Chains A and B, each alone.
Chain A
Amino acid sequence: MREGAGHSAPDSKLLGFWHVMKSMMSRPSGLIGVILVLLHVTIAVISPEIVPYDYKKISNILMLSAPDSSHWLGTDQLGRDVLTRVLMGGRQAIFVTAIATPVAVMWGGFLGIYLGLVGGRKDDVMMRIVDALLSLPWILKMLLLIVTFGTGQTVLIPTLAFFYGIPVIRIARVATHDVVSRDFIQAARARGHSLISIIFVELLPNVRDALLVEGAMRWSWMLLAFSSLSFLGFGATPPNPDWGLMIADARGFLVVAPLAGLAPVFALSTLIIGINLTADALAKTLGVDRARKASPA
């Protein structure tokens, strides 16, 4: 049983996009996850066209009113329509994280692959820096940057992309270690290929799956982080509708108007659950062992 033994699933075929989608949707969890994510993204894109009211229209008559036929989810403390604000509340979070996630995966992934390939002293030094950065509580290091440079998307996106790229370095480095000792890397070295060529031609295709799954996971972490920042008042700025912000605003009136607080919670959790289910299904489809490779944010 020597030859042909030891193939892992992803080796056996190169999976195209549609094949991956089909295989993910064939799992119940994957199907639910993909539907949830697609639903949220669609709503975020089209919500300005479909919402019944203006999200910033204040009314001093309708403050904290109960749901009725004109305001399905009632109104908040300023008399704004909750449904309108919930439907539009994911727009900024999804926009910011949709840019920051690929950036994080790309820079973290590239640095991780590079360190995994060259090893030695560079690797030692860089990984200790990574360890040090990871050991700080995330909220602390983010707030540090935001307080220094101010809020707004121009600060938020780079900050999220920077801090969420750091755990990706680890993932990419470990995935690279699995590959780098194999003879085809030795063969490329013996032929005299450049480091860049080895990274892109030989390593990246083998590390790509792990990075994709990691990216999906990072996205959900990042959404939570953005919402938390909004909740604390450092993310989205009023009167923009944002789930984190809405939860913070409605906190004091939960007894009087529970839906104003619970609706954004529901919206945020369904998106996070959807992304997590999708990431899990993606990991299973691609044969990436998430239990081994996942690391805390």
Chain B
Amino acid sequence: MTQAVLLDIKNLSVGFRGGQDQFVSILRNINLTVHAGETIGIVGESGSGKSSLAFAAMAYFKSGLEAQSGQVVFNGQDLLQENDSAVQKIRGGAIALIPQNSGQALTPTMRIGEQISEVLQLHSRYRPEQFRDRTIALLGQVRLPEPGILIDRYPHELSGGQQQRVAIAMALAGEPELMFLDEPTTGLDVTTQAHILKLLKDICDERKTAMVYVSHDLGAVAQVCKRIVVMYAGQIVLDGSARDVLQSPAHPYPRALLKSITRLSEATIPQALEGRPPMPGIVPAGCAFADRCMAAQDRCRTEQPRLVKLANGQTTRCFYPEEPKLNAARGTTRPAELDPDSFASQSDTLLAIENLSLTYARPSLMDQIMGRPPQGVPTVDDITLGLARGETLGLVGESGSGKSSILKALAGLLPFADGKLIFDGTSLSRRGTEDRDRAHLKMIQLVFQNPDDSLNPRQTIAQILAQPLNLYFDLTTAQVRQRSEELLEEVRLGPRYLERLPSQLSGGEKQRIAIARAFAADPQVVLCDEVTSALDVSVQAAVLELLRNLQRKRGTAFVFVSHDLAVVRALSDRVAVLYQGRLCEIGTSQAVYQAPFHPYTEALVHSVLEPDPDFSPRVLADDIVELGPPAQGCAFQRRCPKHIGEICNTTFPPWQKSRDGHSIRCHHSLAALADGFTDEEQPYA
């Protein structure tokens, strides 16, 4: 590296003071050098200290945290020694931060232009009368359409992707030499994420700005960064070039992490990384990762490894950096693909959804008087799906696609405007849970996205599991207890968890409890709403594995909703793709993930990131605000890269059935949709 050193973090330890004058470290002895123009990714699980490191590198500490030792030298200045006003001059100027959730980082009552002008005023050489032109130029640089109009908009008038672009423009306004990005694409839709990553990459290339990209997502880091630093339990455990770290990491933690990622290219549930990192403040005698490491030796548990530079250029904190030869197999393969025709007959349909339509519009006074349903374009419309016994049906789509709304309607939490819901031959009421009888409620159970929210914080695990058991079954207290213990065994937790509270459990454990609660009712259908997206990558695989094992054992059917195409593929027999509350494509997961594609599916599939330095997503659909589904024509008409013309805007496209048994709703012929994909080029066949 011939470039000048921009930021030099020396022996930095950060933590908070606990009781009895203890110092609980969040970061321990961090040494990190960032050269001018360098792009570094900092990856690790939640709690690994990666965000704290990024903030500490700006000499910013969340309340309670403080630097215990070390230096943060930026351009020759030790930021930890400077006073606040000196550091604030640098922050937002030469060092910029792009936060995770720009929607919250932007002031809602200020126009975009004013917010950027503030930065210009503080950190640039421009005069006030130049601010407007400069702001428009910046908005253009981050490729926002019509910057002259956008400058007078308020943040809420922009889409999530556009807000993120504004945040990037704000960071660029101070003409930074170094940018910190804190999970900048987490929470964005996949197609938007691909846009933002491409933009960041181009900014790096054009402006030669150094970038520190903090993310849990190895796929995103692989797109932008040349160098990757892996954090674990507040320490750097591996530091090397992106290519080396992603392809042959010299530390067992990133190795296990890479194996635990669901990939679109492989329809398997990956190998889970069990366990959890040590709690902050607990400094193990040996290697912090030893408890979860498959190759751990006795020495790993008694002696702390130090960072060592290897011949291959990687710096690792491991005694045995070579990958052990055993355990070469990756994941467990799925059972043979089901014959697509087996569902064509729908002879064993457990749950049939016919022409389901949902609306969030409130009935107007006129509607109430006339006793008619609310007028207007329904949020979700014309959904016809069948779920066979023991089958997994995946619903994919971006935010606003209506996938969670459909799930809520199935669970009876949302009354639907039109259509039918037939469970095992019985038509379920349109109005929801109050009108369903207990036997039907028992048969359909729901698992939510975020276990922090779906488990009552004031109930012990025993109380939580007793809820469905007492409601649906006539059991004695002892039987409830016994059943709860069995359920805990089934989700591989064990009876010792019974007396704990949800807050004493890790995210993965909490989700297992939520799954156990759903299965306590002995349901025939379990509705899974983004069950893995609130979890760490390393935990996701274990939860997927658990769901599949339970399904095999109990013969339960799943409706599996996710925005993550790779996760859906790993678990689903059939997949339905939704856009703006309308079905685009449905078929076996094998068929849906290969050509012919619906143009929207194609855009989605190509936006998915792989943790591979040679992979780059293809950006097909524009990232614009979709306010609501169009009243007529194809739902995807406004963003479709293959838009034909008038027919797409006026006529609802027909279903077309392909030879491999999957159906696409598009005006293009199947041949045209398959065009451009030769057999060799099938992206994920």
**Chain A interface (Cβ < 8 Å from any Cβ of B):** 1-7, 10-14, 182-184, 186-193, 201-202, 205-206
**CA separation between A184 and B448, bound complex, in Å?**
9
Q: List 20 A-B contacts (CB under 8 A).
A: A2-B46, A2-B186, A3-B506, A3-B536, A7-B457, A10-B457, A11-B501, A14-B458, A182-B453, A182-B454, A183-B449, A183-B450, A187-B446, A191-B521, A192-B433, A193-B471, A205-B456, A205-B459, A206-B457, A206-B458
A186 to B441, CA, bound (A): 13
| B643 interface hit (Cβ, 8 Å) | no
| Cβ-defined partner of B453 (8 Å) among A13, A183, A201 | A183
Q: Which chain A residues lie closer than 8 Å to B412 at the CB level?
A: 190
How many residues of chain B are within 8 Å of chain A by beta carbon?
40
Interface centre among A6, A7, A10, A192 (most CB of B within 10 A): A192
Which residues on B sit within 8 Å (CB–CB) of A10?
A: 457
Is B534 positioned at the interface, with any CB of A under 8 Å from its CB? yes
Which of B441, B449, B506 interacts with A190 by CB under 8 Å? B441
Contact of B219 with A by CB under 8 A: no
Question: How far, in whole Å, are A37 and B413 apart by their CA atoms in the complex?
Answer: 48
Q: How many A-B residue pairs have CB under 8 A?
A: 93
Do B454 and A190 touch across chains, with their CB atoms under 8 A apart? no
Min CB distance B262 to A, Å, is 17
B90-104 interface with A by 8 A CB criterion:
none
B433 adjacent to A189 (CB under 8 Å): yes
Closest beta carbon of chain B to A179's beta carbon, Å: 9
Residue of B51, B455, B501 touching A184 (CB-CB under 8 A): B455
Asked whether, in the complex, the Cβ of B534 is within 8 Å of the Cβ of A13, the reply is no
Does any Cβ of A come within 8 Å of B549's Cβ? no
Which residues of chain B come closer than 8 Å to A14, judged between CB atoms? 458, 501
A6 / chain B contacts, CB cutoff of 8 Å = 452
A2 / chain B contacts, CB cutoff of 8 Å: 46, 186, 216, 507, 534, 536
Nearest CB of chain A from residue B280's CB, rounded to whole Å? 11
Let me know if A11 and B457 touch, CB within 8 A: yes
User: Is residue B535 within 8 Å, beta carbon to beta carbon, of the partner chain?
Assistant: yes
Of A12, A187, A201, the residue contacting B454 (CB under 8 A) is A187
Kindly identify which residue among A3, A13, A192, A206 contacts B471, using a CB–CB cutoff of 8 Å.
A192
Residues of A within 8 A of B438 (CB): 192
The answer to the question of B10 belonging to the interface, with a C-beta cut-off of 8 Å to chain A, is no
Q: How far apart are the CA atoms of A184 and B433 in the complex, in Å?
A: 15
* Residues from chain A with Cβ under 8 Å of B450 in the complex: 183
Are the C-beta atoms of A189 and B448 separated by less than 8 Å?
A: no
B426 at interface by CB-CB < 8 Å? no
Within 8 Å CB of B453, what residues of A? Answer: 182-184
Which of A4, A191, A202 is close to B441, meaning CB atoms less than 8 Å apart? Answer: A191
- Chain B residue numbers with a CB within 8 Å of A13 are 501, 503
Contact among B442, B448, B521 with A186 in the assembled complex (CB-CB below 8 Å): B448
Find chain A residues with CB under 8 A from B463 CB: 201
Tell me if A4 and B458 are in contact (CB < 8 A): no
Which partner residue on chain B sits nearest A7 by CB separation? B503
Chain B residues numbered 423-472 whose CB sits less than 8 Å from any CB in chain A? 433, 436, 438, 441-442, 445-446, 448-450, 452-459, 463, 467-468, 471-472
B47 interface contact, C-beta 8 A = yes
- Cβ A192 vs Cβ B46 within 8 A: no
Instruction: Kindly list chain B residues whose C-beta atoms are within 8 Å of the C-beta of A192.
Output: 433, 436, 438, 441-442, 471
Q: Does B411 belong to the interface (CB within 8 Å)?
A: yes
Residues of A near B534 (CB, < 8 A) are: 2-3
| Extra A-B contacts (8), CB below 8 Å, given A11-B457, A184-B454 | A2-B534, A3-B46, A7-B457, A10-B457, A11-B501, A186-B413, A201-B463, A206-B457
Complex contact A183–B506 (CB within 8 A): no
- Docked-complex contact A190 and B433, CB < 8 angstroms: yes
A195 CB → nearest B CB, Å: 10
In the bound complex, do residue B503 and residue A1 qualify as a contact, i.e. CB atoms below 8 Å apart?
no
Is there an interface contact between B503 and A11, defined as CB atoms closer than 8 Å? yes
Q: Which residue of A is nearest B48, CB measured?
A: A1
CA distance A10 to B456 in the complex (A): 12
Instruction: Determine how close the nearest CB of chain B comes to the CB of A15; give it in whole angstroms.
Output: 11
Cα distance, A205 to B456, chains bound together (Å):
9
Contacts of B452-506 to chain A: CB distance below 8 A: 452-459, 463, 467-468, 471-472, 501, 503, 506
A1 with B457, Cβ < 8 A, contacts A183-B450, A190-B433, A192-B471 known: no
- The CA-CA distance from A206 to B463 in the complex, in Å, is 14
Distance from B173 Cβ to chain A, minimum over Cβ atoms (Å): 26
The 0/1 profile, CB within 8 Å of A marked 1, for residues 383-419 of chain B is: 0000000000000000000000000000111000000
Determine if B507 and A3 form an interchain contact, defined as CB atoms under 8 angstroms apart. Answer: yes
User: Chain B contacts of A3 at CB under 8 A?
Assistant: 46-47, 452, 506-507, 534-536
A188 CB → nearest B CB, Å: 7
Tell me, in angstroms, the Cα distance from A7 to B449 when the chains sit together.
17
Given contacts A184-B455, A206-B456, contact A4 B507 (CB under 8 A): yes
A12 & B503 in contact (Cβ 8 Å cutoff):
yes
Contacts of A201 in B (CB 8 A): 459, 463, 467
Q: Please measure, in the bound complex, the distance between the C-alpha atom of A7 and the C-alpha atom of B507, giving whole angstroms.
A: 12
- A187 pairs with B535, CB closer than 8 A: no
Q: Which residues of B contact A5 (CB under 8 A)?
A: 46
Given contacts A7-B503, A13-B503, contact A191 B456 (CB under 8 A): no
Alpha-carbon gap, A191 to B454, bound state (A): 13
Nearest first, the 8 A-B pairs at minimum CB distance are A3-B507, A205-B458, A183-B454, A192-B441, A11-B457, A183-B453, A183-B448, A184-B456
- A192–B535 Cα gap in the complex (Å)? 28
Residue of A nearest to B450 (CB): A183
- In the complex, A187→B518 CA distance in Å? 9
From B457, which residue of chain A is reached at the shortest CB distance?
A11
Q: Which of A4, A6, A10, A188 has the most CB of B within 10 A?
A: A4
- Which of chain A's residues has its CB closest to B441's CB? A192
Q: Which residues of A contact B501 (CB under 8 A)?
A: 11-14
A4 contact from B216, B455, B468, B506, Cβ within 8 A: B506
Which among A10, A190, A193, A202 has the greatest number of chain B C-beta atoms within 10 A? A190
User: Nearest Cβ in chain A — how far from B428, in angstroms?
Assistant: 12
A7 vs B47: C-alpha distance when bound (angstroms)? 14
- B503 proximity list for chain A (CB < 8 A): 7, 11-13
How far is A7 from B433 in the complex, measured between Cα atoms in Å? 30
Instruction: Say how far B472's CB is from chain A's closest CB, in angstroms.
Output: 8
Q: Nearest B residue to A6 by beta-carbon distance?
A: B452
Q: Which residue of chain B is the closest to A186 with respect to CB atoms?
A: B413
Which residues from B are CB-within-8-Å of A206? 456-458
Contact across chains for A190 and B413 when beta carbons are under 8 A apart? yes
| Complex Cα–Cα for A64 and B467 (A) | 68
Q: How far is the CA of A14 from the CA of B460 in the complex (A)?
A: 9
Residues on the B chain within 8 Å of A189, using CB: 413, 433
By the criterion CB–CB under 8 Å, are B46 and A191 in contact? no
A184 surroundings in chain B (CB, below 8 A): 453-456
Q: Once the chains are docked, how many angstroms separate the CA of A263 from the CA of B127?
A: 70
- Measured between C-beta atoms, what is the minimum distance from A95 to chain B in Å? 33
CA distance A3 to B51 in the complex (A): 14
B residues 14-65 near A (Cβ < 8 Å) are 46-47, 51
Task: Give the complex CA separation of A205 and B458 in angstroms.
Answer: 6
The complex places the Cα of A187 from the Cα of B412 at a distance, in Å, of 11
B521 closest partner in A (C-beta): A191
CA distance A182 to B452 in the complex (A): 9
Beta-carbon nearest neighbor of B507 in chain A: A3
Among candidates A11, A12, A190, residue contacting B411 with C-beta atoms closer than 8 Å: A190
| Distance, CA A186 to CA B46, complexed state (A) | 27
Q: What residue of chain A has the Cβ atom nearest to residue B45's Cβ? A: A3
In the assembled complex, the CB of A8 is this many whole angstroms from the nearest CB of chain B, namely 9
Q: Once the chains are docked, how many angstroms separate the CA of A230 from the CA of B490?
A: 65
A244 to chain B, nearest CB (A): 40
Q: Which of B449, B456, B536 lies in contact with A202, CB distance below 8 A? A: B456
Q: How far is the CB of A146 from chain B (nearest CB, A)?
A: 40
Cα distance A30–B456 in the bound complex, in angstroms: 29
Give chain B nearest CB distance to A218 CB in angstroms: 23
> Shortest Cβ distance from B466 into chain A, in angstroms?
10
Q: How far is the CA of A193 from the CA of B507 in the complex (A)?
A: 26
Nearest chain B residue, comparing its CB with the CB of A8 = B457
Docked-complex contact B456 and A1, CB < 8 angstroms: no
